[in-house]
Structure 1
Amino acid sequence: MKKLVAALAAAAALYSFSASAQDYPTQPITIVVPFSAGGPTDTVTRLIAEPMGKALGQSIVIQNVTGAGGTVAAGQVAKAEADGYTVLMHHIGMSTAPTLYKNLPYNPLEDFATVGLVTEVPMTIIGRKDFEPNTLQELVDYAKANKEKVTYANAGIGAASHLCGMLFMEAIDTQLTTVPYQGTGPALTDLVGGQVDFMCDQTTNTTGQIKGGQVKAYAVTTGERLASLPDLPTTTEAGLDMQVSVWHGLYVPAGTPDDVVQKLTAALQTALKDQNVIDRFAELGTTPVAQERATPEAHTETLSSQTELWKPIIEAAGVSAN
């Protein structure tokens, strides 16, 4: 009798869980952003949140949880209930964290289910307005000749600007003095103010300063020129073998029901076709990913391949956050 009662109870619980997954969502959804409000990841998240919420029939709340290059937020989501109500938006840092952080409290490939990629943001190499080099080749030559005094700003270990800087130094086979900041904002402020020489950061951060003439722009780190910055050459055009973009994607805790993930993926795909999202992304120098990349399968493949790509680069640079 006890076994029958237990079996019935288990069946009832399974039915209840299945039914709740089918009804999802019945309450607001929280998207956790690992960086400060106003930053590029936060901006991308807020742009897609409204159309995603409309598609799901629920409001979406943005929660900024900063610290340790995004690992604090990711760790929080990894431990959240796997019910689809806590979602993580993260960028390329999900693929670099396992190498940068030796005591990482989660495994990006095991402790999360992927929802889909959102966008790949190009990066630009920029310098202070009065920096001596005027072209990318001149910058490379100047950096090699003056490596002891040239300063490269970044937004901290694991930030996109930090990763781009490592790639740049590897590409020119020269180690430069890096100046880490607590975020892109203060790094850009000091660059505009002339306290540091140059940096590499996402177009979502730099397009305004480039168009406003506040900084000197050298190149965009993509294979093709950008419609938003048509006069800016690519790194390849300028003779530097270096390409990098900052991809963003949505995650939920591992174990989240497949049909819940599917609903989130469908809402994401709807949001990426929203004209306001397309227009605002264009203003920021980026575009939504193609629909076939806004899927769990494409997202997982990107996360896995990028983790393998960055591992030897980070290890060769001897960089570690803990």
Structure 2
Amino acid sequence: MAATLCAMPAPVTAQSYPDRPIRLVVPFPPGGSSDVSARLLAQQLGERLGRPIVTENRPGAGTMIGNEIVMRAPADGYTLLYAASSITITPNINPSLRFDPRRDLAAISLYIDAPLVLVANTAVPFQSLTGLVDYAKANPGRLNIAYPGMGTTNHLAAALLNHRAGLDIVLVPFAGNAAGLTALMRNDVQLAVDSLASATGFIREGQIRALGVTGEQRAASLPDVPAIAEALPGFETTFWFGLMAPAGTPQPIIDRLSAETMAAVREPTVVTRLHDLGFEARADGPAAFAARIERDFTKWGELVRAANIRID
């Protein structure tokens, strides 16, 4: 009987975790704002947990390469995912994927929640979102809108604008934010949905015109730019990053990581650094983050079906 008890594994507790380095899989290439924000979180969490957190960049397939690495890893808290909001989109537009973030991953905490911005070439014959809607309705199919890749939040934000306002703006994918903004400034496309991190500098220099941000409220970094919801009530789209683990990770580990993430996000230096990157710091616990994933998954699924968006 004593031998049997000795052979049983010790219960997982927040106090005993972690006892070795942790791997954070980042499904983006190194060097961009997504990678920089992930490394900031890794540094802060590592200091709080007393163990190094090693970032591993595994980009590709619309973040699915990194997502799959984590969902197949042992559920022991030593492989984590720097998850992006696209995980709620990709399974909806590609039904052949055997991936569901609600089933295959465990929510730990939201980390960043930020709006996108709708921008226009300065030569367009309208100055506001209302002007855009009027012009687009009078000239169906005449406007093009750039977005950085199929299945991104930018893509679905552009599709949502068409759907909610009853427009026929042509959606044009580009290989990243920089390519789309370059095409916009050349007037190859007239509109783009981009991140604040990519677009704010060009907006302030007058090279492109901001028509609206996609959050429920105006962005702190662009207070003079209205929210799209001011002209289209109920319109709201933000992209987020958060921390997730393989499904089945013990709850004490989830709770410990969540508590430390929320503490890190309250650090003034973290808030300032994220603001400089065009992001807004926001941390929620596992239940709130899981509810957000569920809500976004449902929202984008409804839009994908209504707009017939698919990856061939």
TM-score (norm 2): 0.91
Q: Which of 293, 296, 301 lines up with 2:291 in the alignment? A: 301
Distance 1:197 1:13, change over 3 A: farther
* Counterpart-to-counterpart distance in 1, 2:245 and 2:15: 17
Give the drift of 1:60. Answer: 2.0
Q: Which of 7, 11, 28 lines up with 2:21 in the alignment? A: 28
Give the drift of 1:212. Answer: 2.5
Give the drift of 1:65. Answer: 1.7
Equivalence for 2:107: 114
Give the drift of 1:273. Answer: 1.1
- Structure-to-structure mapping, 1:82-161, within 5 angstroms: 82-161=75-154
Distance 1:12 1:122, change over 3 A: same
Equivalence for 1:272: 265
Equivalence for 1:59: 52
Equivalence for 1:198: 191
Which residue identity lines up with residue 76 of structure 1 in the other structure?
A: I
Q: Over aligned residue pairs, what C-alpha RMSD do you find?
A: 2.3
Equivalence for 2:7: 12
**SS of the residue aligned with 2:230?**
coil
* Counterpart-to-counterpart distance in 1, 2:227 and 2:88: 24
Which residue identity lines up with residue 297 of structure 1 in the other structure?
A: A
How many residue pairs get aligned? The number is 312
Give the drift of 1:88. Answer: 0.8
Contact 1:100 1:320 in 2 (8 A): yes
Q: Which of 203, 207, 220 lines up with 1:214 in the alignment? A: 207
Q: Which of 274, 281, 284 lines up with 2:274 in the alignment? A: 281
Contact 2:13 2:253 in 1 (8 A): no
Q: Which of 48, 62, 66 lines up with 2:41 in the alignment? A: 48
* Counterpart-to-counterpart distance in 1, 2:15 and 2:270: 28
Distance 1:221 1:13, change over 3 A: same
Contact 1:210 1:217 in 2 (8 A): yes
Which shifted more, 299-308 or 25-34? 25-34
**SS of the residue aligned with 1:70?**
helix
- The share of aligned pairs that are identical, in percent, is 33
Which shifted more, 28-37 or 224-233? 28-37
Which shifted more, 193-202 or 156-165? 193-202
* Uncovered stretches (5+) of structure 2, i.e. residues with no partner: none
* Uncovered stretches (5+) of structure 1, i.e. residues with no partner: none
Q: Which of 253, 256, 263 lines up with 2:256 in the alignment? A: 263
Contact 1:137 1:239 in 2 (8 A): no
**SS of the residue aligned with 1:249?**
strand
Equivalence for 1:247: 240
* Counterpart-to-counterpart distance in 1, 2:220 and 2:14: 42
TM-score (norm 1): 0.89
Contact 1:21 1:257 in 2 (8 A): no
**SS of the residue aligned with 2:69?**
helix
Give the drift of 1:20. Answer: 8.6
Give the drift of 1:116. Answer: 0.9
Which residue identity lines up with residue 209 of structure 2 in the other structure?
A: K
* Counterpart-to-counterpart distance in 1, 2:274 and 2:68: 28
* Counterpart-to-counterpart distance in 1, 2:39 and 2:263: 15
CA-to-partner distance for each residue in 1:213-265, whole Å, 9 max, x for gaps? 22111111223222211111121334565221112221100121222212211
Give the drift of 1:30. Answer: 2.0
* Counterpart-to-counterpart distance in 1, 2:195 and 2:274: 12
* Counterpart-to-counterpart distance in 2, 1:199 and 1:148: 15
Contact 1:39 1:205 in 2 (8 A): no
Within the alignment, does 1:321 sit opposite 2:311 as a pair?
Answer: yes
* Counterpart-to-counterpart distance in 2, 1:255 and 1:194: 49
Contact 2:159 2:171 in 1 (8 A): no
Distance 1:30 1:130, change over 3 A: farther
